[in-house]
Structure 1
Amino acid sequence: MAEIIPLRGWRYNQELSNSIQDLTSPLFDVVSLKQREALYQNSYNSIHLSVPQGTFPAKEAAQLLQTWKTEGILKQDYLPGIYVYYQYFRLPGSEQEHCRKGFMCQIKAYDWDEQVLLRHENTIPASVNDRIDLLTETQLQVSPTHGLYTDPDFLLEKYMDESIQAPLHESEDYQGVRDVVAVIQDAAAVREFIRVLKDKQVLLADGHHRYESSLQYRKASRAANPDHTGTESYNYHFIYLTNTEGCDLRILPTHRLFRHLPLSSEEFLSKIAAYFTIIPLADPFDLNEIIIGKKWAFGLYLRGKPYKIRLKTEVHADISWPLPAVVKELDLTVLHYFVLEKILGISQEAQRTSTEIQYIRNFAECLSRVDHEEAEVAFITNGVTIEQVKTVCYSGALMPQKSTFFYPKVISGFVFSSIKQNEFYLEVSPCL
């Protein structure tokens, strides 16, 4: 099923990469404005390629990229390979160290209906358009999307564990995570990675917007090429793959804020009470803990007052969205249907583009934004499980947008993947 190939990655030259932590950056959709401004101060930081500035940012990123190639700031590895990427991390409040193991390569950009690469949530159109412009101008994939494959026999881990003993890069990122990158260039080992993945489906964990942009770029390129064969560089996408059977996959919740509530607090609570039981709380900092492990339960922080709300079991059957049962069971489906659509009047489709809805990962930030009147209500949620993600993907249905936050996030700047035709063929020909 999934066709993967090695790549000749572009990386910072040896002199610069000795300080790789000064050159890496968070993904474009999680980097904060404050982080951007700090990273922009380093003229070689990868933020200039992933979130470029200027009147015509995509064009300026393309010009900068060419300058970096010409001046040797970035150099392409001589041999193609599989880039191993381990992330060592601890969760808040725990001393246990986890290690998420994975590897970076190119994967064929399959259309959704081919059922080889499966998504689990919707994209937000504006973010996709931004990524298409950047990919079209630079023909560079700055950071990999995160995909999941299932291998209960752990056939590839022995190759990765061996290679990580001789890292190309090692640094600590903004999350406090230790990132280690290595490369496998042995042709026999590379062929084993290709063999193991060829009968797998891949679940898209993170990077839906970047993958969607590759699909749109491929579609446009194919239409413009009368001699299209399917092997051209535009048919491939940069991806980071991890095994769903590993014990160190973590998914954190993404909370919802609503900026302007068109109801008084009393009216809103009255409408909530039609579907949910409501329990007032004394301390808003209990909101995230009091709902842990409780189905269809949410923390509600309404104009400075905290409540626990939980859906009344008997009303769950009222969900009229045409979704499989497995998706209707999700907490976020309950929230988006009963609160956002039924109470606030925002349709399922309109929720994807609404500027009133904000998606925040940090619990304390949710409370702060309400306290500072930047939003009027926060909905605190539980995270989904990897089993729920797998079940939804295999059902062919989608979760609400921003349903998952796989932690830790991959980091931009260790390896870049070119889909320029001449550079791409140099990537793949020696091994294939």
Structure 2
Amino acid sequence: MAEVKAFRGVRYSWESMHGEEASQVVAPPYDVIDEAMLEELYQRHPQNVVRLDLNRRQASDSPENNRYTRARRYMFDWLAQGVMIVEPEPAIYVHVQEFEDEAGQVYRRQGFMALVRLADYEERVVLPHERTLKGPKADRLELMKATDANLSQIFFLYDDEEGDVDRPLYGAIEGEAAALDIRTEDGIRHQLWAVRDEAVQQAVQAGLKERPLLIADGHHRYETALAYREFRRQVAEEPDGDAPYEYVMGFLVNMHDPGLQVFPTHRVVHSVAGFDGEKLRAQLEEAGVYRVEELSRGLLDDLDALRERLEAAGGEYPSFVVGMVGGSLLLVQYVGGVDSPVFDEETPEEVRRLDVAVLHEAIFDRMLGIDRAAQEAKSNLGYVKGWAEARAALDEPGHQMVVFMNATPVEQVNRVCLSGGKMPQKSTFFYPKVLSGLVINLL
């Protein structure tokens, strides 16, 4: 099953930084950075990791000088200057994040960074749960080829209810001061320890060797790492099963960790030709597999009550709240069976039990005409994370409908993975994201 090992990470020289400087050089993952945030990160610090992970395009870009070649040049310049250093010996990096949810509840999520041997999905060692897009993978592959590095981690989950992996690893940092302890502008505290004890490392390896890993976040980056591995194998002078490119840097969390939180991702419908909210409502009511209840639009001013109403409904059946722009607010519950013709024939039973599958296959595709290709291209769909952002989306010009979602439970994600099925995109939002710039792995 899973094979993990310690590694000599590349990291910033935290010891030589002053005050809050360490918090100024890290960045969110590339896929949540928009143009405004990119500019802000560039201005925040001259050695912010975004110059490596998402170097901005320039009008003068050429094959010899572009965002990918600049990323490589920055990384090796910073190593030469001592801004970054290579760890003197292999380590497993424990990473703890403290954060609050929208209701103010405080959580503490603990995980660790290590190398994971790459495996094709067919081997059933690494299990995906979401579909991917071609565009991000092409971009990430060019960056990997230029830098020969994992600049950020794949977020994996493992099933360790007994604590075989967690006990020795997290016991090793008890009473030890963190090598890095920062708080980012979003209020999240990030701590990092380097565990160099070989006995502890071997215990982690042994604890995981009979377990598969589930990709929580980073499907595009994992599939890019597979493509990079094939590229390196093709140009290698001779096979080397233990070469650096046979591994990828991961952030691994026990799926039973009480701090592991999955938040919902809400859907915004726009630009659908001939969209008619009342027609959609009639279709839902006439289909015979939905229970449709009109809610007071006053609930849009009490999002806690709306969330509680949806969570209670989700405990009975796959459910979501459909808000028509300027129209009805509907609680929709799918009360049909898993054998209903509203699903594609190849959709596995475990996927059919999900509210996102009902929404994407039965409603977006069959009722609104947003087929899988349009969903992947985001031609008519947008995604927002928070409840307040989803509520605000109802007032934005050009939007037609907002669908408020429940979070997908981790155990449900695990069942889908084990079934071999895949969910629609943006089915899960594991919060918080893991920062880029904590540790880099050279290949």
- Equivalent of 1:234, from 245, 250, 253? 245
Distance in 2, Cα, partners of 1:401 & 1:23: 30
Distance in 2, Cα, partners of 1:61 & 1:340: 40
Is the aligned partner of 1:57 residue 2:67? yes
Distance in 1, Cα, partners of 2:171 & 2:143: 34
Q: 5 Å matches for 1:57-96?
A: 57-95=67-105
Shift of 1:226: 5.2
Question: Match of 1:292, SS?
Answer: helix
Distance in 1, Cα, partners of 2:326 & 2:17: 48
Q: 5 Å matches for 1:233-252?
A: 233-252=244-263
* Residue matched to 1:153: 162
Shift of 1:160: 2.0
Shift of 1:223: 2.5
**Which amino acid counterpart does residue 330 of structure 2 have in structure 1?**
K
**Which amino acid counterpart does residue 51 of structure 1 have in structure 2?**
L
Specify whether residues 374 and 70 from structure 1 end up closer, same or farther in structure 2 by C-alpha distance, changes over 3 A only.
farther
Q: 5 Å matches for 1:367-378?
A: 367-378=391-402
Question: Match of 1:373, SS?
Answer: coil
Higher mean C-alpha deviation, range 394-403 or range 272-281: 272-281
What are the superposed Cα offsets for residues 271-311 of structure 1, whole Å, 9 maximum, x if unpaired? 34334424142222444342113222212222233512314
Distance in 1, Cα, partners of 2:334 & 2:417: 27
Higher mean C-alpha deviation, range 357-366 or range 307-316: 307-316
* Residue matched to 1:176: 187
Distance in 2, Cα, partners of 1:417 & 1:282: 50
- Equivalent of 1:318, from 334, 341, 348? 341
Q: TM-score, normalised by structure 2?
A: 0.89
* Residue matched to 2:107: 98
* Residue matched to 2:264: 253
Return 5+ residue gaps in structure 1 as ranges: 420-432
- Equivalent of 1:35, from 34, 37, 42? 37
- Equivalent of 1:134, from 143, 154, 175? 143
Shift of 1:17: 6.9
What are the superposed Cα offsets for residues 99-135 of structure 1, whole Å, 9 maximum, x if unpaired? 1111101111111111101011111221222211111
* Residue matched to 2:297: 282
**Which amino acid counterpart does residue 5 of structure 2 have in structure 1?**
I
Specify whether residues 157 and 315 from structure 1 end up closer, same or farther in structure 2 by C-alpha distance, changes over 3 A only.
closer
* Residue matched to 2:406: 382
Return 5+ residue gaps in structure 2 as ranges: 59-65
Distance in 1, Cα, partners of 2:366 & 2:242: 48
Question: Match of 1:298, SS?
Answer: strand
Kindly indicate whether the alpha-carbon contact (under 8 Å) linking 2:127 and 2:213 is maintained by their aligned counterparts in 1. yes
Kindly indicate whether the alpha-carbon contact (under 8 Å) linking 2:343 and 2:352 is maintained by their aligned counterparts in 1. no
Kindly indicate whether the alpha-carbon contact (under 8 Å) linking 2:322 and 2:332 is maintained by their aligned counterparts in 1. no
Aligned CA RMSD, in angstroms, stands at 1.9
* Residue matched to 2:310: 291
Shift of 1:359: 1.6
Distance in 2, Cα, partners of 1:157 & 1:175: 30
Kindly indicate whether the alpha-carbon contact (under 8 Å) linking 2:266 and 2:404 is maintained by their aligned counterparts in 1. yes
Shift of 1:372: 2.0
Kindly indicate whether the alpha-carbon contact (under 8 Å) linking 1:146 and 1:240 is maintained by their aligned counterparts in 2. yes
* Residue matched to 1:428: none
Identity of matched residues, %: 28
Question: Match of 1:290, SS?
Answer: helix
Is the aligned partner of 1:273 residue 2:296? no
Distance in 2, Cα, partners of 1:319 & 1:264: 20
Kindly indicate whether the alpha-carbon contact (under 8 Å) linking 1:253 and 1:381 is maintained by their aligned counterparts in 2. yes
Distance in 2, Cα, partners of 1:346 & 1:91: 32
* Residue matched to 1:111: 120
Question: Match of 2:30, SS?
Answer: coil
Question: Match of 1:319, SS?
Answer: coil
Kindly indicate whether the alpha-carbon contact (under 8 Å) linking 2:10 and 2:86 is maintained by their aligned counterparts in 1. yes
Specify whether residues 192 and 37 from structure 1 end up closer, same or farther in structure 2 by C-alpha distance, changes over 3 A only.
same
Question: Match of 1:378, SS?
Answer: strand
Kindly indicate whether the alpha-carbon contact (under 8 Å) linking 1:54 and 1:60 is maintained by their aligned counterparts in 2. no
Distance in 2, Cα, partners of 1:344 & 1:226: 53
- Equivalent of 2:23, from 12, 21, 24? 21
Specify whether residues 174 and 119 from structure 1 end up closer, same or farther in structure 2 by C-alpha distance, changes over 3 A only.
farther
Kindly indicate whether the alpha-carbon contact (under 8 Å) linking 1:144 and 1:238 is maintained by their aligned counterparts in 2. yes
Specify whether residues 363 and 136 from structure 1 end up closer, same or farther in structure 2 by C-alpha distance, changes over 3 A only.
same
Shift of 1:407: 1.2
* Residue matched to 1:203: 214
**Which amino acid counterpart does residue 414 of structure 1 have in structure 2?**
L
Specify whether residues 231 and 46 from structure 1 end up closer, same or farther in structure 2 by C-alpha distance, changes over 3 A only.
same
Q: TM-score, normalised by structure 1?
A: 0.91
Question: Match of 2:210, SS?
Answer: coil
Distance in 2, Cα, partners of 1:383 & 1:161: 31
**Which amino acid counterpart does residue 376 of structure 2 have in structure 1?**
R
Specify whether residues 237 and 114 from structure 1 end up closer, same or farther in structure 2 by C-alpha distance, changes over 3 A only.
same
- Equivalent of 1:186, from 193, 197, 201? 197
What are the superposed Cα offsets for residues 337-358 of structure 1, whole Å, 9 maximum, x if unpaired? 1221101213234422233211
* Residue matched to 1:398: 422
| Aligned pairs, number | 418
**Which amino acid counterpart does residue 107 of structure 1 have in structure 2?**
V
What are the superposed Cα offsets for residues 371-415 of structure 1, whole Å, 9 maximum, x if unpaired? 121422111111110110111111111111111011121111111
Distance in 2, Cα, partners of 1:306 & 1:417: 51
**Which amino acid counterpart does residue 290 of structure 1 have in structure 2?**
R
Specify whether residues 243 and 315 from structure 1 end up closer, same or farther in structure 2 by C-alpha distance, changes over 3 A only.
closer
